Structures are given as C-alpha cells and as structure tokens.
Amino acid sequence: MATRSFSRASWDRRQQIGMDAVASAAGPPECRAAPCGPPAGVTRATVAEDSLRVIESVSRRGRSRCLQDYPVLVIANLLVFSALLGGCVGLPRRAAVPADATQLAIPSTCPQSRFWPNLDLGLLYRDAAASDERERATLVAQGRNPGALPPAAFLAISGGSDAGAFGAGILVGWTATGTRPRFKVVTGVSAGALIAPFAFLGPQYDDLLQRVSVSIGPRDIFRIRNLIRAIASDAFADDAPLASLIKKYITPDILVSIAKEYERGRILLIGTTDLDARQPVVWNMGAIASCKDPTALSLFRKIMPASASIPGVFPPVMLNVDVNGRQYQEMHVDGGVLSQVFLFPSSFLRVLTRDYSLNTRERSVFAIRNGRIDASWMSVPRHTTSVADRALSALIDTKGINDLYRLKVIADQGHEDFNVAYIGGEFDYPHNTPFAPDYMRRLFDYAYELAKSGRPWHKSLPGDESATVSADGVGEANARHSLD
C-alpha cells in the first residue's frame, strides 16, 4: 500500500494541532512540553490524522490535570507520537564504552574511586587492606595497640523509595538506646544511598535524617513530565528537585567530614548500575571525598541520585569517562536493578580469608531492608496496568529478599554476626501516594519506636530457625564496635 509523505509546512500544521489539543487537555503549564523534531521526511500520515482526530475529540470533552483523567487521551498521545515522531531516536549522548573496555574506563574525576565487583576484585581488595592500615595508624595516634584490630560493624542499607523513612527511623531510634556503633563500613543502594552518608557520619546527623524523612513530599523529589516529553526524553519524571535537595545537604563541609573518617580507615560505598554494560558499580565515596579534584563534590552529588534513578521513571545519570585517551560516556541508573542491598561479594570473602591479617577481627553485619519480608495480599483489579504493577512489585520484592539471603550466607561463611531489620506486618498504614508526608512520618515513627525498644533486629530470615536477637545481646555487641 502506498504511503503519503507531507511537507514541512504540513508537518508544522499537524504538529501544532496535536500540541494544541494535548496542551488543552493536559491542564497546567508544568504538564506541557514540546516534542523532539521529526525526521526530514515523515510518513504514516493517515495514522497521524486519525490520531489527531481522537485527540481533538477527547480535548473537547473537558480538561484533565496532567492527563490523569482520560486514558483514551494517553493512548491517542502514544499514537500521534508514534506516527509523527517515529524517526526520533531520543536524547543525544556520547558514545558508550565498548564492551571489551568496560574495566578500562576511568572516570574523568577521581579515577581510583570505584570497583567492578563482578569483574575485578583487585582494587577492592587493595583498598580494604589499605583501610585497615589507616585504621592501625589511627590506633597508634590514639596510643592504642594496633596489633589486634577492634571488632568491626558493617551496615548495609537497601533501596525502597519512600520506605527509606524506615531506615532513617531505625538509625535515630538506635541512637536513643545508646548502643549504636560507629560503623567500619556503610553501604547504600537507591534510597539507602541517600541515607548512607549521614549514617556513616554518625548520630550528629540524626536531626537531618528525621527532618527530611517526615517533611518532604512528592514535589521535593520529582516533577512529572507530560506524556509527549516523557517518551521523547529518557524518563517519565524529572528528578531535578531531588538533585537540589542533595545539593542542599551534601556540602563541602560534609565532604571534609567524610574524608576525615576515610583517613581513619572507615569505608562508605554506594552502588549504581552501569546500564550499558549491565554491571554493578561500587563507588568509594570516601575516596571521592578525599580526592583533590575540584569537581569531586560534583561527582559525589551525581552518584547519589544515580543510585536512586529508577529506570524509565527518573533520568539516568551520564558520566564522562576516558579509555586510553578517548572520551566515552556511561549511563548509570538505580543500583537496585542488580542488587538492592550489598556488602562484599562472596568471592571477595574467599580472598579475605586467605589473608590472615585481614581476617582476625570480629565482625557484625547489620542490614536494613526498607521494605517488608512477608507477602502482602490484595485483590488485583483485572486491568492491564494493575496486573503489570502487581507482578513487577512482586518481582522487585523477591529480588530484594533474595539479596538479603545472599548477604546472610556470606556472613555465615565469614563467621560474622548477622542482623536484619525490616518493616513488620503490624505496620499497615495506608500507602496511596508515593512520598506522601503522612505515610513517611508514620513509618519513621514506627521504625524509631521499634529501634528504641531494642528489638528491631532479627537473626534470621523466613525459613531460618534462629530467634530475634535480644536487646542486651545487641548492646553488648555494639559496645565493642566503637572507634574512639
């Protein structure tokens, strides 16, 4: 069947009709945006004309706010976008790192600041050994015996979107018991990555954690793009508000404080996903904070939202890298895509146990899951988006729980004391809107009281036989983990 092409003037007329109809139905200006341009010649005119007629028809039926009230309009937008903008290939980017050069890519800022846990453990192993040497130097400066390193506490904070309020509440309530340790290692993914720097620095930042957890709303995190702009761009929402929030609280003074703790032998790690390579990346935030590069603060601020950039929902973070003098660009998204909570890979543990000098200290693992463990029941509406959303949520939850099981297996192999905190089935406050302040406030309060009572920690996961750890047991263990 022959196709009809149309001129630039015809394209402009059709585009304006479509955009006027979409803007009319979409409501306020913040919901509007222009699409990317068409290719030199655009065909499928018949489909375009039909789609535009649908949009005009729907727009005459009344206005909606950000396309929420008219599903037909959403479908029409997709049709007109497909018909008119079929040649548009998305936002520009620098060439991706070739597959065989993934490990060779060096960040433009602070080159020795990350690890590839699935590809090469060499740098991770060397940095772990160097951190122990820095810790020994700290002990000497304090007049203490550097021969036997004191017990170490490791903290891993999972993703969980607005359920990150749970992790913040656990930490603040833990402080109230007087038994919260100074952690040797803190790791964070997604929502956990936003908490991790302040958990790392200690209780003096509890007020900030509480304030952010109970006062922010959706507009402090993201802005929804209209459908046309979303499909023509790289995400359905703009996370510029989150970037502004990070810039407000991750200050030069924060970096100085993290750098000081890094020099004492402590480690702060954040996980992202290199989407081009489909590989997890672990960023040594202490090394970045200690880097003398004037752009280190900018990189630090980029890594945090990158770890929380849910693909398709928030924009990926593009990082410039160098491979043998050539410039490339990596696309980084939510670390939870590949691992929702992490410490060290099991292969690293095998290397660790071969080096007696790195395996003589007592270690405890504390994992905070910003989510539930049990399966939640609901009657799923027989609707495409409801079915897909329910299935995707189940997939994500199962993946996160499996990550916890892996963490426990690794801890057991290393003879480490394992403890996990998660949202219990008794917390049933309605959760109807992402980042709803009332929900986050209730979740923070629930976690705070749970931790303050001394019983947030479980020794086991479903299927294990261990009992919940006692408050006294945690207190005795924590008292040994402080680096004065």
Phi-psi bin for 7: left (phi > 0), alpha (psi -120 to 50), beta? beta
DSSP letters spanning 270-328: EEEEETTTTEEEEEEHHHHHH---TTHHHHHHHHHHHHT--BBTBPPEEEEEEETTEEE
Secondary structure (H, E, C), 57-72: HHHHCCCCCCCCCCHH
Q: State residue 355's pLDDT score.
A: 55
Low-confidence ranges of the chain (pLDDT < 70): 1-90, 345-360, 464-484
Query: For 99, which DSSP code?
Result: G
Angle at 446 between CA 440 and CA 450, to 5 degrees: 145
Q: What CA–CA distance (Å, rounded) separates 433 from 415?
A: 42
* Burial of residue 213 (number of CB atoms within 10 Å: 0-12, 13-18, 19+): buried
Amino acid at 83: A
Query: Is the distance from CB of 58 to CB of 20 less than 8 angstroms?
Result: no
For residue 152, the tally of other CB atoms under 10 A from its CB is 23
Q: State residue 337's pLDDT score.
A: 94
Q: State residue 227's pLDDT score.
A: 80
Q: State residue 72's pLDDT score.
A: 45
255-306 pLDDT, tens digit each: 999 999 999 999 999 999 999 999 999 999 999 999 999 999 999 999 999 9
Query: Is the distance from CB of 329 to CB of 381 less than 8 angstroms?
Result: no
For residue 436, the tally of other CB atoms under 10 A from its CB is 16
Q: State residue 215's pLDDT score.
A: 84
Of 95, 338, 73, 333, the C-alpha closest to 227 is: 73
Q: State residue 153's pLDDT score.
A: 96
Token look-up 């720097």 returns 197
Q: State residue 73's pLDDT score.
A: 45
Query: Is the distance from CB of 479 to CB of 146 less than 8 angstroms?
Result: no
Q: Cα dist. 125→429, 430, 483 in Å?
A: 44, 45, 22
Question: How is residue 189 written in tokens?
Answer: 């993914």
Q: State residue 473's pLDDT score.
A: 42
Of 226, 329, 342, the C-alpha closest to 282 is: 342
Question: How is residue 160 written in tokens?
Answer: 């969980």
The helix (H) or strand (E) run that includes residue 168 is helix 164-177
Q: State residue 348's pLDDT score.
A: 62
Question: How is residue 19 written in tokens?
Answer: 């955009």
Contacts of 251 (CB under 8 A, 6+ apart): none
Question: How is residue 484 written in tokens?
Answer: 């004065």
Q: State residue 155's pLDDT score.
A: 98
